[in-house]
Structure 1
């Protein structure tokens, strides 16, 4: 398992080396700086596609984000063609109180989002920072009766172009200056 890589190029290089050393399944996880993008601005969909093309058997995300934001990042991502999709969210971003790290998300929060991870095509679901066996059990309870998703419809939204009010409209018989 190759996880918590914020730099796609580094993970790609390590994957290439690992692939020459084993035929065992290789799990690769990138970590997003913000939902949907890596630290260098690369879209997570592009990173996962690139890892699959380099021979990863499982592609996904881990760390930095909790379930809600990780699911938001996976919404527009199509299912990999050959690899499985994976997600290992943090419990939450930690809060430092009384000399200790505290994570806010309770097991019911994880159970609630388990179905949404499944609906985004996640086949391997786990946890990263702050998660405990109790939260992993909640994930299991949320999806144990469901079959894995085989297909996923991804709606591509056209890019919105904002036109400045200062721009001159085209000359046309339909347009008359006031």
Structure 2
């Protein structure tokens, strides 16, 4: 797992069955990044704009640079459907758009998150919504966890912000939905 500098999950490990963990990671990624995950060219162009995306993909500093023109032309071909992006371009585009979305969240300074989950806090599971508007420390922890690919850490931060301390949760039984606005 590629963790950002200074990221560490300060909570006790929760037991999350492998199928539930995969579901949680998918839903968390979809909620935070939406269509930006997977290297979709049209979603990336819509989010960043063709010019900005071409600059970021090429690493160029001027519109007159050959690398910029190549990137711009390739984006046009991908959008028209005359070509499909290679795997390395898709990976690069996904990385750029994920970083852009994380920066956008950090710059805004607040994030509304709602998750409907089933948590085991004792012998009896509890099902319900866990929601809060994250800011300050909770926003930083949540975004760091998402950036590191730690969906469980992000959910732990949300539950603490909601008022349920993560140390009291024994297991995540299921995740019905996650919404981020």
Structure holding more helix per residue: 2
TM-score (norm 1): 0.21
TM-score (norm 2): 0.20
Name the larger-Rg structure: 1
| Bigger RCO (CA 8 Å, 6+ sep) | 2
